[in-house]
Chains A and B, each alone.
Chain A
Amino acid sequence: MTALRKPAPAFERTVLAVPSIHCAGCMSKIERGLGVMPGIASARVNLSARTVTVEHDLSLEAHDLVHALAELGYEAQARRDELAPRLSAARPLLAPLAVAGFAAMNVMLLSVSVWSGAEGSTRDMFHWISAGIGVPAIAFAGRPFFKSAWQAVRRGRTNMDVPISLGVLIATGLSLYETGRHGEHAWFDGALMLLTFLLVGRVLDAMMRDRARAGVDALLSQAAQGAMVVGADGTLAWVDAIKLVPGTVMRVAAGERLAADGEIVSGASRFDQSLLTGESAPVPLHTGDQALAGTLNLDAPIDVRVSHAGHDTTLAEIARLMEASTQNRSRYVRIADRAARLYAPAVHSLAALTVVGWLLSGATLYQALVTGVAVLIITCPCALGLAVPVAQVVASGSLMRAGIMVKDGSALERLATVDRALLDKTGTLTQGKPLPDSAALLALATDEAAIALALASHSSHPLSRALAAALARRNIAAAPLSDVAERAGEGVFARWHGHEVSLSRPLGGGEAIAAALTIEGRPVRLIPFSDRLRPDAVSALAQLRQLGVECSILSGDRPGAVGEIALATGLTAQANARPADKQALVARLRASGRKVLVVGDGLNDGPALAAADASMAPGSASDVGLQAADLVFVQESLIALPRAVRAARRTTAVVQQNFALAIGYNVLAVPLAIAGLVTPLVAAVAMSASSLIVVANSLRLARAAK
């Protein structure tokens, strides 16, 4: 670095996703660690979003920052949508909520004075002040409801917002009229209270979606976002995935994912294509073969000439398949809106009948209209509007504590109805990564295990990492080694107390994945690796069966590998299914009236996940899987599946109870309103009481995920 600072260096802002930040210690470590780096003006951690925003000069690239964070011990990825602010569903509702709450409290205070007997000019003054606060507040805070109601009405439909908007607007209009003619009753307090309660429901609902999305965002971007490109003069430079063009040559190290489709121009290696095809066995590829974006290079560094990049990759093809299937999900009508379809016409005709009835019995037009409006206000679906969101928010909060993220409320409604489950094999029923055979590890002598751990810890090869992790869990200390060398495509070689030791590819190893531990003067130890069933998979499937959900396996893997898992789990299975086959099977089952849950993780599951009634993905899933799934579970155990189904069903039960409570309240209050006995005081008490009851009932879901 030069001693003289450049005049006014141009700064750039980069946002990096760092999923593993979780405490104040991480925050200060990252902010201090990056802060002292040359070229960085400032670094600020956002713990809620698990991101770091770095202001740096143009000499640094996102790739350098990722490296710097890796040195600090944090895995990071540059965000693709770097500068686009993340859209929050809750933030636009906060201001209306604040205004509605403020206005409701002030107007309620004035109303209390009116109810306790203020008369004449005092009452008029209070009413005018209420109007002065209430009308602008209603106009501002009611906009989310008015907008959505108007959109529904314009398309000739109705939703929960239509009776809400009508009730609020008519109450406001009538109150203004009453205030003008020195009347006794004004309803500003009721209208504002209604808006406040409903906005609380909406904000809770939006916060739930925000939190789940933030959680899923943090898991995203596991695939390579760029590649080391070999220049014409042999220099290496990092290029972002979106800037890769066909014809460039990228160097892919062992353990990296390919950023684009391409032809191998030099080197040979084995590839894990499970994300794309579901196939678990590594595929050996040589010079001249096609390698696909998103696949994991297992053995040796290779050079690949890019043939398709960005939107032309196989990956993008799957994305197109998915787009088509997401449409039938958007056709799903949420419970609250289905209720509104029945509720709104019933309430509105009731109000109309009240007006006609009063007119026929000889009342004045004014009296009849006031009574009709009272019916509309009292039936305004305050409790109904809270019934669904509060229940879903409480349930998904409970699920989130159990490690299951629910992306939105309608997912819970749809999940509650499923009676058929299709499960992917690799990465869903199994853990999706090769793990060393525990019997083989137990057979190792202590010093052998210590050597194996020491050798494995010197390599970033996926098998070495898995082996090192497994041995470290057995509390084995690494043996001291000298002259350690990793030879790409072969293994790790070193000396131990003068003996040559190595951890390498077994000679003549075919399909099976294994590592050979060689210690001079001793027999070679073979450590087989295999993909293992998730813990509790069998009991989780049994629980699903008890819940009336019929399960079967749907995999893109070879029949042999699928058969093994089918035998272990006792499920029927279909192998060799391509993404389009999976999607077609989902469509067939749905057409025959089944409600289908798809659980999968790979890109190849994306279209099926999107087409299903409800879908779940493990946290280790591909970006596509995470985005397409309704629910994401982050723990190892498959118990998450029955747990989520049970919680969803309990939520639906509570929602139905809430509806029953809300309707019960109406059955009590509506006759009073029709009889013309409802005053603003009665309305305020009835509304708060019914809302509180519904909220209290929903809180019972706090332990729904247990």
Chain B
Amino acid sequence: MTILLLLIPAALAIGGLGLAAFFWALRNGQFEDPEGNAARILIEDDE
């Protein structure tokens, strides 16, 4: 059962990392223009 002492913190840390990434995205305007971001992949950059 001692493996839990390692696994639980590891699982929480990975989950927490995801949560932190989401907060970062929220603060940096990644959700400002969801439709536009979907459309932007169709724009060709070379010209």
User: CB within 8 Å of B: which residues of A?
Assistant: 23-25, 27-28, 32, 45-49, 91, 94-95, 98-99, 102, 105-106, 109-110, 122, 125, 129, 133
Contacts and interface: CB of A to CB of B under 8 A. Distances in A.
A286 to B, nearest CB: 49
B33 A49 contact: yes
B29 to A, nearest CB: 10
A106 B11 CA distance: 8
A28 B43 contact: yes
Given A46-B33, A47-B33, A27 B19 contact: no
A98 B33 contact: no
Contact of A99 (B11, B19, B39, B41): B19
A48 B22 contact: no
A24 B40 contact: yes
A133 B33 contact: no
B34 A94 contact: no
Contacts of B44: 28
In this complex, which of B1, B22, B23, B39 has the most chain A Cβ atoms within 10 angstroms of its Cβ? B39
Interface of B: 1, 4, 8, 11-12, 15-16, 18-19, 22-23, 26, 31-36, 39-44, 47
Contact of B39 (A27, A91, A129, A133): A27
Nearest 10 CB-CB pairs, A to B? Answer: A47-B36, A24-B42, A24-B39, A47-B35, A48-B35, A28-B43, A46-B33, A48-B33, A102-B19, A98-B22
Nearest to A110: B8
A639 B37 CA distance: 34
A22 to B, nearest CB: 9
B39 A95 contact: no
Nearest to A109: B11
B18 to A, nearest CB: 7
Nearest to B5: A125
Contacts of A109: 11
A102 B33 contact: no
A46 B32 CA distance: 8
A106 B15 contact: yes
A47 to B, nearest CB: 3
A642 B42 CA distance: 39
Contacts of B11: 106, 109
Given A48-B35, A110-B8, A125-B4, 20 more contacts: A24-B40, A24-B41, A25-B42, A27-B36, A28-B43, A32-B47, A47-B39, A48-B36, A91-B26, A91-B31, A94-B31, A95-B23, A95-B26, A98-B19, A102-B16, A102-B19, A105-B15, A109-B11, A122-B4, A133-B12
A109 B8 CA distance: 10
B23 A98 contact: yes
Contacts of A105: 15
17 contacts: A23-B39, A24-B41, A25-B42, A27-B40, A28-B44, A46-B33, A48-B32, A48-B35, A91-B26, A95-B26, A98-B19, A102-B18, A105-B15, A106-B15, A129-B8, A129-B12, A133-B12
Contacts of A24: 39-43
A618 B22 CA distance: 39
Nearest to A97: B22
Given A48-B34, A122-B1, A129-B8, A102 B43 contact: no
A23 B31 CA distance: 18
Contacts of A110: 8
A48 B8 CA distance: 40
A125 B1 CA distance: 12
A48 B38 CA distance: 10
A99 B26 CA distance: 13
Contacts of B43: 24, 27-28
B36 A46 contact: yes
A215 to B, nearest CB: 12
Nearest to A214: B35
Contacts of B4: 122, 125
Nearest to A106: B15
A48 B37 CA distance: 9
Contacts of A133: 12
A565 B7 CA distance: 76
Nearest to B37: A47
A49 B29 CA distance: 14
A505 to B, nearest CB: 45
In this complex, which of B4, B11, B33, B36 has the most chain A Cβ atoms within 10 angstroms of its Cβ? B36
Contact of B26 (A25, A27, A28, A94): A94
A48 B39 CA distance: 10
Contacts of A91: 26, 31
Contacts of A122: 1, 4
B7 to A, nearest CB: 11
A122 B4 CA distance: 10
Contacts of A32: 47
A25 B19 CA distance: 35
In this complex, which of B16, B22, B26, B34 has the most chain A Cβ atoms within 10 angstroms of its Cβ? B22
